[in-house]
Chains A and B, each alone.
Chain A
Amino acid sequence: MANIIELKNVCKSFGNIEVLHNIDLTVEEGEVLVVIGPSGSGKSTLIRCINCLEMITSGELLVDTIRIPHERNRVRQIRLEVGMVFQQFNLFPHMTALENVAFGPHKARSVSKKEANEIARDLLNKVGLAEFENKLPGQLSGGQQQRVAIARALAVNPKVMLFDEPTSALDPEMIGEVLDVMKQIARESGMTMVVVTHEMGFASQVGNRLIFMDEGRIVEEGKPQEIMKNPTSERLKEFLAHVKHH
């Protein structure tokens, strides 16, 4: 399968502090890549570089067919092909669930309002929230909000979905419903997914590949089950022991 994302020797600095060091990474079409690592290791920064919410400082990034930094003026095209789900949901508080989901296709893809609403209803149905379409985000639980946020990102019809700790802000009883939706997307649509998560069950069930990051570098990479069974580095052993107890 072809690579849909390629990072070549990517570095990212904030001011004088380099937080990603010479990252090389490829993601194939249809692959589910899981990213784990301790706090501050650069997981968010890495995936935010992929949809250019952070601009890489050096190196090269290829998403779909668009090359960064050479085609910096095509960042918006990248975002049309790469959806993102945030830890804090970030639903637009002034729009209903339906409006949140219909917004992307209507504005970014110039789909008619009527058609966008159909797309949105369909997706809300898929994430099990059909009867909540007229609710404002503030009237929904965290799990429901995150499912709407997933539908919102899917509505633009991206080729890749990025998830940045989508269940970390949720109460434990709501984590399952969000992970179920993500599993369903991976299985049914064959969506390319890059998922930052500490849910090791999800990683081993759905992930095709896992990378462990530490201090801005990819320290280990491989099949999730194998890596979790036989971690080679001390840091990963420590990290896995820590995660398992949560």
Chain B
Amino acid sequence: MDFQFSIILESIPTLLEGAKLTWIITLLGISGGMFFGVLAGLGRIAGTEALGEKPHGVFVPISFLIQKISGGYVETVRGTPIIVQAMFLYFAFPMLVKAIMDLERFRIEALTAAVITIMFNAGAYIAEIVRGAVISVDKGLVEAGMSLGITRFQLISHVIGPLALRRMIPPLGNQFIISLKDTSLFIVIGVGELTRQGQEIMASNFRALEIWLTVAIMYLIMTTVLAVTLRTFEKRMKMF
């Protein structure tokens, strides 16, 4: 078996292009995922004492509705494969829009579809992480905050949030890494991310060992960067 180091060197520029795209999809995806995740995570426990004052009057049915919508989102995403979600968004969704809204030229860029898929997909898992962390905050601390006469927003942003965040970091790190690796599935909708670039070089030179080894190392470097960033963040927080 001959291992040619030159193959690796030759493939690096193209693979880096792919890695760059992987990185962009991941960062945009998990940023959006954090947004949807916090929203849906808090939404699933809307109106419970985990978030302070229990609602009354019209806010009771409103909280219930928010809970159901958030729950429906999380369960839908968790119950379907990400690859199906990407295919649906890229191929099926534009057809739906065309049919319903009579927009002849509506289409979604593959890259856009990839970013949105990661956003919604990661968002659902992050929602569960957020929910779990918020529920685990000591009820006594929530009551202590309430008894000071602060608003619900202050309670969430200064008491519940910071305490929950500390418990969220390890599982969030895990989810970020999963999302990064999930971007390799977008090979099916033709996004030129790292796995796709590797696949294309492979198809032209058949150097499987060199190419997949390089691709694997590039993924490993990116996941390590994510993990180290989160660990640094965790260390910088006041622990107790």
Contacts and interface: CB of A to CB of B under 8 A. Distances in A.
B240 A77 contact: no
Interface in B207-240: 237-238, 240
B21 interface: no
B151 A76 contact: yes
A94 B148 CA distance: 17
Interface in A54-104: 55, 72, 75-80, 82-84, 86, 88, 90-94, 103-104
A185 interface: no
A194 to B, nearest CB: 13
B138 interface: yes
Contacts of B53: 75
Contacts of B144: 84, 86, 90-92, 149, 152
Nearest to A155: B148
A84 B165 CA distance: 26
Contact of B158 (A80, A103, A136, A138): A103
B149 A53 contact: no
B140 interface: yes
Contacts of A93: 141, 163, 240
A167 interface: no
B147 interface: yes
Contacts of A91: 144
A104 B238 contact: no
Interface residues of B, number: 24
Interface string B39-57: 0000000000000011010
B149 A76 contact: yes
Given A92-B159, A103-B158, A79 B138 contact: no
A130 B14 CA distance: 63
A108 B163 contact: no
Question: Which of B146, B154, B162 has the largest number of chain A CB atoms within 10 A?
Answer: B146
Nearest to B53: A75
A75 B140 CA distance: 18
B35 to A, nearest CB: 24
A79 B149 contact: yes
Interface string B155-179: 0001100110010000000000000
Contacts of A92: 141, 144-145, 159, 163
Contact of B149 (A80, A138, A149): A80
Given A103-B158, A107-B158, A79 B238 contact: no
A138 B240 contact: yes
Given A90-B138, A92-B141, A136-B238, A79 B162 contact: no
A75 B145 CA distance: 13
A108 B146 CA distance: 10
Interface string B106-121: 0000000000000000
Contact of A53 (B147, B151, B158): B147
A138 B238 CA distance: 12
A51 interface: yes
A153 interface: yes
Given A79-B148, A93-B163, 7 more contacts: A55-B56, A79-B147, A83-B148, A90-B140, A93-B141, A94-B240, A108-B150
Interface of B: 53-54, 56, 138, 140-141, 143-151, 154, 158-159, 162-163, 166, 237-238, 240
Enumerate the 5 nearest inter-chain pairs by beta-carbon distance, A residue then B residue, closest first.
A79-B149, A80-B149, A90-B144, A84-B147, A108-B149
